Amino acid sequence: MSSANILKVDFNMVYFVSNNAAALYPKTDVIETYMFRALRTEGDYSIGTATGLVQGVVGLVLTIITNKVCQKVSHESLY
């Protein structure tokens, strides 16, 4: 059931270890830090909301796929 969490990362670890240095964005930028930066620096709520929505939808799709695979393997549903 935690297949949707594959898209999640510890925001505090990534943000504070990289110290929000622009030179490190190509290596350390993840969805959560991108959303935070879009909301904090640009005040762009639509981008932050859209990326959060896409992350949620992809997580839902991954959960449904995992459930279908489990049904095929063990002939049981996770819900």
Cα dihedral across residues 39, 45, 46, 52: positive or negative: positive
CA 40 to chain centre: 18
User: Tens digit of pLDDT for each residue in 10-44?
Assistant: 878 887 878 878 788 788 788 888 888 888 888 87
Which long-range CB contacts under 8 A does 45-53 form with residues at least 24 apart?
Answer: none
pTM above 0.85, yes or no: no
How many residues belong to the chain? 79
For the ranges 11-15, 43-47, 55-59, 73-77, the one whose mean pLDDT is highest:
55-59
